[in-house]
Chains A and B, each alone.
Chain A
Amino acid sequence: MLKLDRVTKRFFPGTINERIALDEVSLTLNEGDFVTVIGSNGAGKSTMLNVISGRYPTDGGKVVIDGRDVTKAPEHKRATWVARVFQDPMAGTSPHLTIEENLAIAFRRGQGRGLGMAVTRSGREVYRKALRTLELGLEDRLQMRVGMLSGGQRQALSLLMATYAKPSILLLDEHTAALDPSRAELITRLTGEAVARNHLTALMVTHNMHQAIELGNRLIMMHEGRIVLEVDEEAKKSITADQLLQEFSKIKGASLSDRTLLD
Chain B
Amino acid sequence: MIVAVELGLLYAVMALGVYLTYRVLDFPDLTVDGSFTTGAATCAMMIVGGLPVPLAMIGGVVAGMLAGAVTGLLHVWGNINALLAGILTQIALYSINLRIMGNKANIPLLRTETAFSWLKDHDLMRTWVSVAIFAVVVLVVGLLLYLFLGTSYGVALRATGDNELMARSQGINTGVTKIVGLMISNGMVGLCGALIVQYQGFADISMGIGIIVAGLASVIVGQAIFGMTSVWQAILAAVLGSIIYRGVIQAALMVGLNPNDMKLISAVLVVAALVLPQWGPFKRLRIRRRTAQAVAEGGK
A residues at B contact (CB < 8 Å): 53, 74-77, 79-80, 83-84, 86, 90-97, 101-102, 104-106, 108-110, 113-119, 140-141, 143-145, 148, 161
Contact = CB atoms under 8 A, between A and B. Distances in A.
19 contacts: A76-B168, A77-B173, A90-B163, A92-B166, A93-B166, A94-B162, A95-B162, A101-B158, A104-B155, A105-B155, A105-B167, A106-B170, A110-B171, A115-B148, A117-B151, A118-B152, A118-B155, A141-B298, A145-B297
B165 interface: yes
A11 B152 CA distance: 37
B212 to A, nearest CB: 23
B152 A83 contact: no
B201 interface: no
A37 B16 CA distance: 48
B151 A118 contact: yes
Contacts of B79: none
A86 B152 CA distance: 24
B104 to A, nearest CB: 40
A145 B229 CA distance: 9
Given A94-B167, A115-B153, A144 B162 contact: no
Contacts, number: 96
A108 B155 CA distance: 11
A106 B169 CA distance: 9
Contacts of B153: 113-115
B159 A76 contact: no
B297 A79 contact: no
Contact of A101 (B148, B155, B168, B298): B155
A34 to B, nearest CB: 20
Contact of A113 (B156, B298, B299): B156
A171 B162 CA distance: 22
B130 interface: no
B227 interface: no
Interface in B267-300: 294, 297-300
B151 A116 contact: yes
A108 B152 contact: yes
Contacts of A90: 163
A83 B156 contact: no
B259 interface: no
A108 B167 CA distance: 12
Secondary structure at the A interface, as helix, strand, loop or mixed, is loop
A53 B173 CA distance: 14
B170 A109 contact: yes
B229 to A, nearest CB: 7
A118 B150 contact: yes
Q: State the 4 A-B residue pairs at the shortest beta-carbon distance, nearest first.
A: A79-B171, A118-B155, A113-B152, A94-B162
Contact of A94 (B151, B163, B294): B163
Interface string B162-200: 110111111111100000000000000000000000000
Nearest to B155: A118
Nearest to A84: B169
Contacts of A144: 297-299
A102 B298 CA distance: 18
B158 A79 contact: no
A156 B151 CA distance: 25
A104 B152 contact: yes
Contacts of A117: 150-152
Contacts of A91: 163, 165-166
Nearest to A108: B152
Contacts of B154: 118
A143 B230 CA distance: 10
B169 A93 contact: no
Given A94-B162, A145-B229, A79 B170 contact: yes
A97 B150 contact: no
Residue in A75, A96, A118, A140 with the greatest tally of chain B CB atoms within 10 Å = A96
B79 to A, nearest CB: 14
Contacts of A140: 298
A257 to B, nearest CB: 33
A64 B156 CA distance: 27
B170 A96 contact: no
Nearest to A54: B168
Contacts of A83: 169
A100 B24 CA distance: 18
Contacts of B166: 91-94
Contacts of A114: 151-153
Given A118-B155, A148-B299, A109 B162 contact: no
Contact of A105 (B156, B229, B298): B156
Contacts of B163: 90-91, 93-95
A79 B151 contact: no
B172 A94 contact: no
Contacts of B171: 76-77, 79-80, 109-110
Given A144-B297, A148-B294, A79 B156 contact: no
